[in-house]
Amino acid sequence: MKELRVEKLVINISVGESGDRLTRAAKVLEQLTGQTPVTSKARYTVRTFGIRRNEKIACHVTVRGPKAEEILERGLKVKEYELKKGNFSETGNFGFGVDEHIDLGIKYDPGIGIFGADFYVVMSRPGYRVAKRKSRTNKIGFQHKVKKEEAQAWFRQRFDENLTIFIRYYLRQVRRSIM
């Protein structure tokens, strides 16, 4: 009952403008996941970036189940299974970015171009549905919530010795000993 699992994987490509680039980014997400992406709108106007309120500026896809784990594996392979400690949130979720989508195994198409993508992974345990169901909703106990350390331990165990979580304190100590 306490084992962790990937509840969902959200892949986001933020283009910053609507139009042709956004549709090309949506094609990339569709090639990667096989699902139709959803567009996201700007919350407010930013004149310096040329963004207007309610303008479509990004697209994202939510993937669940074994397909999410397979795409997550491909994304982590690009990052060489290395994440920083800061990539993990206090609630046990984590995220990372990929600079070029062609590293994920998608063939390069000059008509589409190259886009970066953000991966966000939401971790959960069996029993989390209690907080989300429509009838008889209830709170999840503190002991049952996913914590940062548990997500990091799951990550280490799942991806064997390939994972290195960089701890800034450790890196500072190494630098001081070299100097």
Tokens linked to 141: 């106990």
pLDDT in tens, 45-75: 988 888 899 999 999 999 999 999 999 999 9
Smallest Cα–Cα separation from 118: which of 143, 101, 142, 140? Answer: 101
The percent of residues in the chain predicted with pLDDT above 90, rounded, is: 63
| Distance from C-alpha of 125 to C-alpha of 142, rounded to nearest angstrom | 13
| SS3 letters across 35-57 | CCCEEEECCCCEHHHCECCCCEE
- Return the CATH number at 39: 3.30.1440.10
The pLDDT confidence band at residue 156, using thresholds 50, 70 and 90, is: confident
Residue whose token pair is 């990052």: 79
pTM as predicted: 0.84
Smallest Cα–Cα separation from 81: which of 167, 1, 171, 166? Answer: 166
Domain count, the chain: 1
Range of the domain at 30: 5-178
- Return all residues near 76 (Cβ < 8 A) that are at least 6 apart: 96, 159
Q: Is the pLDDT of residue 178 over 90?
A: no
Average pLDDT over residues 117-141: 94
The pLDDT confidence band at residue 2, using thresholds 50, 70 and 90, is: confident
Which stretches within 13-166 are classed as H helix? Answer: 20-33, 66-78, 129-132, 148-158
| Distance from C-alpha of 151 to C-alpha of 91, rounded to nearest angstrom | 9
